[in-house]
Amino acid sequence: MPRLLIILAFFTSFVSAMETQILNKGKVIFSEDFSKSFEVKKPHWWVKQNTRWSVKNGELVGIPATADYQAKKKKEGKGHLGDIPRIGLGKMPKSYIMSFRFQMDDKGWNKRVPMFEFGHHISRIFFSKEGATLLTDHEKVEHMNDKTLIPKAFKWYEVLAEVGEADLFIQIKDEKGKVYKFYCHYPKFKEAPNTSFQIATTIQGTLKMDDIKFWESRGLKENWKENIK
């Protein structure tokens, strides 16, 4: 590649990178780019509802549980059929920063998925055909909604989330580079017994993830309130 193109590519990547707005980044506490294959299991990876996860072509790929498992769970009548790829990442610190990329397919949506959350039923970004919504308190409280953010099938989206002890700031960048921002103040974050991250995709669908990284938080930035206006 000619030198000028290399410089332009670097500059474009630099200016398009999302930066933290409310928290200071500390050291990296976990990082995975899926360049090598491994068994997806605890302690880092919490596979949910017997869905199936593997590392393929440099990506983390999730598919539903087997048809037999789904039929068994449906017969039991207790829900959690394993029909939606779902995975978590252990217990996180009370405050941290996380980035990742995800891609969904064109399968079915419902009133609960697709989504990702920080703290089980504590805070959640829910995607619907009417846009994306930031919810807290077992999805009872709606903080922000963006009707223009409706993830497209087979497109990659980048996420930067800043999880504070009482504040949450999430940025989602689409395939064209547009950044959508969500913020809420929710003091119950620091009291949450479960601080894990979890993501779920479409019904009977496939979820892909890549470039997952966690940093420790070094507290709120001095000018953080100005950054969220």
Residue 202, domain member (yes or no): yes
6: Cβ contacts below 8 Å, ≥ 6 apart: none
Residue 96, domain member (yes or no): yes
Helices (H) and strands (E) in the chain, counts: 3, 15
C-alpha closest to that of 96 among 173, 41, 30, 14: 30
Domain CATH number, residue 180: 2.60.120.200
**Beta carbons within 10 angstroms of residue 225's beta carbon:** 11
Taking every pair of Cα atoms in the chain, the longest distance, rounded to a whole number of angstroms, is: 63
* Residue appearing with tokens 């393929």: 56
Residue 56, domain member (yes or no): no
pLDDT, tens only, 76-135 = 998 899 999 999 998 788 899 999 999 999 999 999 999 999 988 889 999 999 999 999
Torsion angle in degrees (nearest 10) through CA of 61, 52, 40, 162: 60
Residue 187, domain member (yes or no): yes
Torsion angle in degrees (nearest 10) through CA of 66, 132, 110, 129: -120
Whether residue 194 is predicted with pLDDT greater than 90 in this model: the reply is no
- Binned at pLDDT 50, 70 and 90, residue 196 comes out as confident
Residue at 28: amino acid letter: V
| Residue 108, both tokens | 């079915």
pTM value is: 0.90
* 3-state per-residue secondary structure call for 158-171: EEEEEECCCEEEEE
- Binned at pLDDT 50, 70 and 90, residue 228 comes out as confident
Residue 51, domain member (yes or no): no
Range of the domain at 102: 90-227
pLDDT, tens only, 30-57 = 999 999 999 999 988 999 999 999 999 9
pLDDT score, position 92: 80
Sign of CA dihedral 208, 31, 116, 66: positive
pLDDT score, position 2: 47
Residue 125, domain member (yes or no): yes
Average pLDDT score, the chain: 90
Whether residue 203 is predicted with pLDDT greater than 50 in this model: the reply is yes
- Count of domains for the chain: 1
Evaluate whether 157 touches 207 at the Cβ level (below 8 Å).
no
120-131 CB burial, b ≥16 within 10 A, e <16: bebbbbbbbeee
pLDDT, tens only, 141-159 = 999 999 999 999 999 999 9
Helix (H) or strand (E) holding 74: helix 67-76
C-alpha closest to that of 90 among 219, 217, 214, 225: 214
Q: Which is it for strands 141-146 and 157-163: parallel, antiparallel or unpaired?
A: unpaired
